[in-house]
Amino acid sequence: VFQEMFKAECYFINGTEEVRYVRRHFYNRLQYAMFDSDVGHFVGFTPFGEKVARYWNSDPDFMERRRTAVDWLCRHNYKVFTP
């Protein structure tokens, strides 16, 4: 059985002053690509992940959505994510 999944995480430092958005992509429990809002682009960890990261990084609309996730996902849901 093959499984593909992604996990999106928001890290809050000083409330909503400093926010970091991390999105990790896995295939069969192996991380193949990751987006970090501090870095600003996808990074591949396997040959397949490098190819996928290049493809995603070349799409300006897709990347703009990932880069702005700090605001529309993390900061918007701050009260939901924090106890």
pLDDT of amino acid 81: 78
Q: What does the alpha-carbon distance between residue 22 and residue 69 come to, in Å, rounded to a whole number?
A: 9
Domain 1-38 has CATH 3.10.320.10: yes
Q: Tell me how far CA of residue 3 lies from CA of 31, 32, 53, 68, in angstroms.
A: 12, 13, 19, 28
pLDDT, tens only, 25-53 = 999 999 999 999 999 999 999 999 999 99
pLDDT of amino acid 9: 95
Query: Among candidates 55, 81, 58, 57, which has minimal Cα distance to 70?
Result: 81
Residue 1 has pLDDT above 90, yes or no: no
User: Mean pLDDT, the chain, as a whole number?
Assistant: 94
